[in-house]
Structure 1
Amino acid sequence: MWRFIIINTFSFFILLGAHFLKRRFFQAAALMLITVAALAAVFQKGVDPFAWFYYLSFSLLVFFEGLQFKRWIYAKSSALDGEIHEALKKLETARALLERKTKATNDINRRANEMHYLYDKMKEISKSMDKFEALLVFGEALSGQCRFETVVLALFDEEDEGAQISEAIYCLKYSDFEGLFDKSFILKNKKEFMVALDPFLRKIFKRVFERRTPWADEGVNPSAVYPILMNNKVSGILIVTGVSCVQSGALSVLAGRFISEIERVKLYEKVETLALTDGLTGVAVRRHFLERLKGEIGRSKKFSFNLSFLMIDVDYFKDVNDRYGHLVGDVVLAQTAETIKKNVRELDLVGRYGGEEFGVLLVETDRSGALLVAERIRIAVAETNFKAYDEKLRATLSIGCASLSKDLADAGSLIEAADGALYEAKHRGRNRVCLASR
């Protein structure tokens, strides 16, 4: 019984599975087996005809239903393949959209980081009151955005614009910002980054002074040039050579902010100069002169340095004003101050003490040295032919000299002693130098 069931089950499985072997030969073979079995049953004696009819009918049913089942499965499979294909297309579209959004987000984050970096560097530029330090921060900021060969800053005196002679030309290379960037070292040695005027720079200077507008050259050696204008006069030129981002927004933003800060620093220097310098004579104003005198006295005491002070008065200056007028008198004062400055060192300080009186601070100078300087100044002025408008005239000086000592240990006593020596010189006939008795 069980053997019969197993054999029939195996036979029906073959009939059903013949449709899934993807070859018509197996389907024909299964159908032929059914036919042979039916014919055998007809001619077989002792076989129940109803049983064989039932078996034949069920075999045909299994065979043809298997065919329909195969078609149904293939139809479902095709539909499912279409759905899977559509799902994959949607998934691919979603993945591409996600990639685009991710890229856009990364670009936004990168740009935000760049803007934050630029903002920090622009704030750092704004804090600087030194033009070279501002150039250094500009170069550092630019090196974080793109490559370049050099950044050059040329500074000019706008009062002497026509001469096109630069006060200083600083040049920083891209390599200065690579590796271990030591800002403090570069600031301490900024003179090493000064360069001389060459034909390339001279050509750029000429074009800037002619056009007064920024321009970019995208040739073999891409460069960008920005004039720095004050009162419509060229006070500086910023040059970036070999720059890979000549048309980038970062370069324009940084250059614009840098130029603005250079203009601010130069304006501050001009205001500071006006506050510390006498407008007529170009020497220090009295307040600044006295502050420096007090500071140098303190330093000289601390380090046991010598220090001397000269009080100078232009002889008969009132007569000059009365005879030639105040305009001529102003010219005499200005030229006298210029002569005094030419006969002292850079570390010394000349100041206008009041009216026609000048003070000279001689750093690290004893009494004998001060006397030599005073005589040199007196002789130089006496030998100068002053030209004021159409007038030619001469002037002489009376000079009082005092040096720092135990008795003259502060600014007040030092000035008082020099002033007393000055009046002693006047009392003796003017055009002479007198030393303070203390």
Structure 2
Amino acid sequence: MKDDLEQILKSFGEIESSLTIEEALWKLSNLTLFIFKAESVTIMDVSEIPYHFVVLKNVDSTAASELEESLFKGKNEKNLKIIKETKSPLILEDTLKYEFWLKVGNSPRSWIGIPILVDNEVKYIINIDSYTPNFYNDDFQGLAEAFSMYASSVIEKNKLIEQLFKTAAFDKLTEVQTRQQLFDELKRNIDRYKRYGVKFSCLMLDLDKFKNINDTYGHNIGDIALKSFAKVIKENLRQSDYIFRFGGDEFIIKLEEAKENEAYLIAKRLKELISSVKITESLNLSTSIGVKEYKGESLEEFLKKLDEALYKAKKSKEGIVISD
């Protein structure tokens, strides 16, 4: 008992030293395994459909891929919906007794779902699994509720820390994230792709004839053009997507869980929106866009191919090119 308490206290210290949400979630999953004597634990981001895994611990790979595929198809399980609606933990003593339970692969027989709330909305759900029927029961309700409150407070704190870091490193002119933050973000996405196969794509875009804008209208108008360009993009991205200033008039947009065909459609829509922006009576904005889905290459190679796609886009009739 003393050893268990020491382990829990040590875990609390490690969790609360986290500087990012991602780091905190991984450490929370370790503590969840220990406290609930779980055989496997997953954490899902349920803020937007389709839901997706952000942490997998001790999970059968076949079951995980089947479950994530069902989530991508919009088959969101009733148990997750109940948790989102009630904002409270849910315990299924024997999962096979529930018709709505998605029976895939080596499916758990007893389960607890614990919500993590951010801004009073369910952002993540911790899935706690046992392969023994009736392992979890109402006796775990109090513990699950306490853990939900603790995990929510941790993630709320990490959200504030991340916001402070992002605000401090924002590009002052366009108020978007910087090149260094892009590298950090892409490294996290590449790691997630290698672990779970979660796809993502990027768009690289710039202002057409930006040098001519500066030369003809002056640098003040050039700055206004850049700010307007970034603003229309920010206002028309999904909550899960990010824009970064790569340098000069070049920007990169990271599209979470988007394949190249989806990224192309987003690029097409953004290009139309940007073309409608009028800076002066004689100056409308326009852009060229390179599109690239990540397919396992190095970060350097990925960015090189993305840059090449933008270069080709500037010479193409449509102004959008998907990387080979």
1:410 counterpart (298, 302, 317): 298
Scaled by the length of structure 2, what TM-score is found? 0.51
1:186 aligned onto 2:149: yes
Equivalent in the alignment of 1:157: none
Aligned to 1:393: 283
Q: 1:359 to 1:319 in 2, by over 3 A?
A: same
Residue 275 of structure 1, CA deviation: 3.1
Structure 2 counterpart of 1:433: 320
Cα distance in 2 between the residues matched to 1:300 and 1:181:
31
Residues 434 and 127 of structure 1: is their aligned pair in 2 closer, same or farther, counting only changes over 3 Å?
A: closer
The RMSD of aligned alpha carbons is 3.3
CA distance in 2, matches of 1:324, 1:435: 32
How many Å separate the matches in 2 of 1:427 and 1:181? Answer: 58
Could you report, residue by residue, the CA deviation over 1:202-261 in whole angstroms, capped at 9, with x for unpaired residues?
A: xxxxxxxxxxxxxxxxxxxxxxxxxxxxxxxxxxxxxxxxxxxxxxxxxxxxxxxxxxxx
- Partner Cα separation in structure 2 for residue 372 and residue 334 of structure 1: 23
Aligned counterpart, 2:209: 316
Q: Aligned letter for 2:308? A: G
- Tell me the SS of whatever aligns to 1:345: coil
Contact 1:311 1:415 in 2 (8 A): no
2:247 maps to 1:354:
yes
Give the AA of the match of 2:230.
A
Change in Cα spacing, 1:274 to 1:375, as seen in structure 2 (3 Å) is: same
**1:367 counterpart = 2:257:** no
SS of the residue aligned with 1:422? helix
**Aligned partner letter, 2:168:** A
- Contact 1:309/1:415, CA 8 A, preserved across alignment: no
How many percent of aligned residue pairs carry the same amino acid?
Answer: 31
Q: What does 1:128-143 correspond to in 2, within 5 Å? A: none
Q: Is the 8 A contact 1:311 1:401 kept in 2?
A: yes
Once the two structures are superposed, residues 177-205 of structure 1 have per-residue CA deviations (whole angstroms, 9 ceiling, x without a partner) of xx999664224457xxxxxxxxxxxxxxx
Counterpart of 1:325 in structure 2 is 218
Of the candidates 329, 332, 340, which is equivalent to residue 233 of structure 2? 340
| CA deviations over 1:145-184 (Å, ceiling 9, x no partner) | xxxxxxxxxxxxxxxxxxxxxxx799xxxxxxxx999664
Greater length-normalized contact order (CA 8 Å, ≥ 6 residues apart): 2
In structure 2, the residue corresponding to 1:379 is in which secondary structure? helix
- 1:325 Cα deviation after fit: 1.3
Higher-helix-fraction structure: 1
Contact kept? 1:398, 1:433, Cα under 8 Å? yes
Structure 1 residue identity aligned to 2:196:
F
Deviations 1:19-65 (A, max 9, x none): xxxxxxxxxxxxxxxxxxxxxxxxxxxxxxxxxxxxxxxxxxxxxxx
Distance 1:271 1:307 in 2: 26
Query: Could you tell me how far apart the structure 1 residues matched to 2:19 and 2:187 are?
Result: 25
Shift in alpha-carbon separation, 1:127–1:269, aligned structure 2, 3 A: same
Q: 2: distance between equivalents of 1:298 and 1:269?
A: 19
Q: Would the aligned equivalents of 1:309 and 1:359 in 2 still touch at CA under 8 Å?
A: yes
Question: Is contact 1:321-1:329 (8 Å) kept?
Answer: yes
Residue by residue over 1:258-297, the C-alpha shift from the partner in whole angstroms, topping out at 9 and shown as x without a partner, is xxxx9xx98x777523433111111110001111011101
- Give distance in 1, aligned partners of 2:313 and 2:143: 62
Classify the secondary structure of the residue corresponding to 1:347. Answer: coil
1:383 corresponds in structure 2 to 276
1:292 aligned partner: 185
**Aligned partners of 1:270, 1:344: CA distance in 2, in Å?**
18
Aligned partners of 1:427, 1:381: CA distance in 2, in Å? 18
Judged with a 3 Å threshold, the aligned counterparts in structure 2 of structure 1 residues 304 and 271 are, in CA distance, closer, same or farther, namely closer
1:319 aligned partner, one-letter code: N
- Give the deviation of 1:428 after TM superposition: 2.3
Is residue 343–residue 376 contact of structure 1 (8 Å, CA) maintained in 2? Answer: no
Please list, as runs of the form range in 1=range in 2, the aligned pairs for 1:40-79 lying within 5 A after superposition: none
- Equivalent pair of 1:343/1:373 in contact (CA under 8 Å): no
Aligned to 1:424: 312
Question: CA 1:379/1:275 → structure 2, altered by over 3 Å: closer, same or farther?
Answer: same
CA distance in structure 2 between the partners assigned to 1:309 and 1:127 by the alignment? 32
Residues 332, 303 of structure 1: alpha-carbon distance in 2 compared, 3 angstrom cutoff: same
Q: Distance in 2 between matches of 1:183 and 1:297?
A: 34
Distance 2:172 2:305 in 1: 28
For 1:286, give the aligned amino acid.
R
Distance verdict in 2 for CA 1:279–1:402, change over 3 Å: same
Q: TM-score, normalised by structure 1?
A: 0.38
1:141-160 paired onto structure 2 within 5 Å: none
Which residue number corresponds to residue 165 of structure 2? 272
* Amino acid across the alignment from 1:426: K
- 1: CA distance, partners of 2:252 / 2:299: 12
Gaps of 5+ in 1: 1-125, 131-167, 171-178, 191-261
In the alignment, is the contact (CA less than 8 A) between 1:309 and 1:414 conserved in 2? no
- Structure 1: which amino acid aligns with 2:195? K
In the aligned structure 1, how far is the partner of 2:291 from the partner of 2:322? 5
Residues 232-311 of structure 1 aligned to structure 2 (within 5 Å): 272-311=165-204
The Cα offsets for residues 386-422 of structure 1, whole Å up to 9 and x where unpaired, read as: 36xxx6621111101111225xx22111111111111
Task: State whether residues 309 and 360 of structure 1, in contact with CA within 8 Å, keep that contact through their aligned partners in structure 2.
Answer: yes
